[in-house]
Amino acid sequence: MTVTIDTSGRGDAAFGFWSSARIVMWRGWVKTQRMPSIVVQSLFFPTFFLIVYSGLYDAVTDLPGFPTDDVTNWFLPFMLFQGAAFGGLGAGFGTAVDIDSGFFDRLLLMPGNRSAIMVGSVGYALLRSLFVAVVVAGVGVALGASPTDWAGVPLLALAVVAISIMGSLYSLALIYRVKDQRVAPLFPIGIFVLLFVSSAQVPLSVTTGWLNAAGRINPVTNLLRLGRQAFLDTGVTWEDTWGGLVAIVVCTALLGWWAERGLRHYNP
């Protein structure tokens, strides 16, 4: 009963980074299916807001220079982002539960590279986010949203994926450091602030003062510019695209680094 041990170097690769990440992701998915309430909750808010905003804020499109006539076109990308961001937090929530129950120790005892746990959690939350996105998009189309430039649709999809990943990495970075389920209710606060201090509700041009200043430097504003192009009168332009792409690369890299460091130094 001995194990052949490769003592040369770290040899972590022998333990299949991707198969480990996949099995962690698979577990998350299995659990979600058995607790459908989780999905119902992540579906409910973006769908509900989309319906309410589309009904209530029709007049917003009458603002001078508003980039679309259709209020659903305006709010759909925002609601997809919201769904993706909160879906992404599922990675942190799931990990918080695992830390609390001690299950996380079992994962930490894997001989391979522990980053696979992080990647698996992000992947699982992404699956959830994508499921939500498809449903919310369906509701949006039913409410009358229709792309003005189909070239923008893959860009919107890219932004949704990126936002889910960022939400996951952010929540994981926090939970890997705080290691306590009690921090979990704080996850959504950061997301709310970022989403709302942006051009999410109205174009930046109609905001003033600090809100305008904060909105300008908020990467979410750039992501929204990128993602909304599919639904605005102007269609896809490079000017509205590049800022979002930079935001995706920079934010994902920074959050990924932050989360990975947290996990690497996890051992208390």
Partner 1 sequence: MDHPIVAEGLVRRFGDLVAVDGVDLHVARGEIFGFLGPNGAGKSTTVRMLTTLLSLSAGSATVAGYDVEREPHIVRRVIGVALQEAAIDPIMTGRELLKLQSVLHGIKGRVASDRGDELLERVGLTAAADRRVGTYSGGMKRRLDLALSLVHEPEVLFLDEPTTGLDPTSRQALWEEVRRLNDEFGTTVLLTTQYLEEADQLAGRIAIIDGGVIVREGEPDQLKSEVGSPTLRLDIDPSRHDEARAILSQYGESRPARSERVAIGLEGGAARVAEVVRSLDETSIEVTHMELDAPSLDDVFAEATGRRLEGAAETGAG
Position 189 contacts partner 1 (CB under 8 A): no
Contact with partner 1 (CB under 8 A): which of 36, 48, 55, 106? 106
**Interacting positions 10-49 with partner 1 (CB under 8 A):** 10-12, 14-16, 19-20, 22-24, 26-27, 30-31, 34-35
- Closest distance to partner 1 from the beta carbon of 108 (Å): 6
3-state SS of the chain is CCCCCCCCCCCHHHHCHHHHHHHHHHHHHHHHHHCHHHHHHHHHHHHHHHHHHHHHCHHHHHCCCCCCCCHHHHHHHHHHHHHHHHHHHHHHHHHHHHHHHCHHHHHHCCCCCCHHHHHHHHHHHHHHHHHHHHHHHHHHHHCCCCCCCCCHHHHHHHHHHHHHHHHHHHHHHHHHHHCCHHHHHHHHHHHHHHHHCCCCCCCHHHCCHHHHHHHHHCHHHHHHHHHHHHHCCCCCCHHHHHHHHHHHHHHHHHHHHHHHHHHHCCCC
Closest contact distance (angstroms) between CB of 8 and partner 1 is 11
Residues in binding contact with partner 1, number by CB under 8 A = 38
- The least distance separating partner 1 from the CB of residue 4, rounded to whole angstroms, comes to 10
112 part of the interface to partner 1, by CB under 8 A? yes
In this chain, which stretch among 3-11, 40-48, 199-207, 255-263 interacts with partner 1, using CB under 8 A?
Answer: 3-11
Q: Quick one: which of 36, 44, 105, 180 contacts partner 1 (CB under 8 A)?
A: 105
* From 60, 110, 183, 254, residue interacting with partner 1 (rule: CB under 8 A): 110
> Based on CB atoms, which residue is closest to partner 1, 17 or 57?
17
- Among the residue ranges 74-82, 102-110, 121-129, 229-237, the one whose residues contact partner 1 (CB under 8 A): 102-110
- Contact call for residue 146 and partner 1 (CB under 8 A): no
Distance CA 135, CA 176 (A): 31
Binding site residues, partner 1, CB under 8 A:
1-3, 5, 7, 10-12, 14-16, 19-20, 22-24, 26-27, 30-31, 34-35, 98, 101-113, 267-268
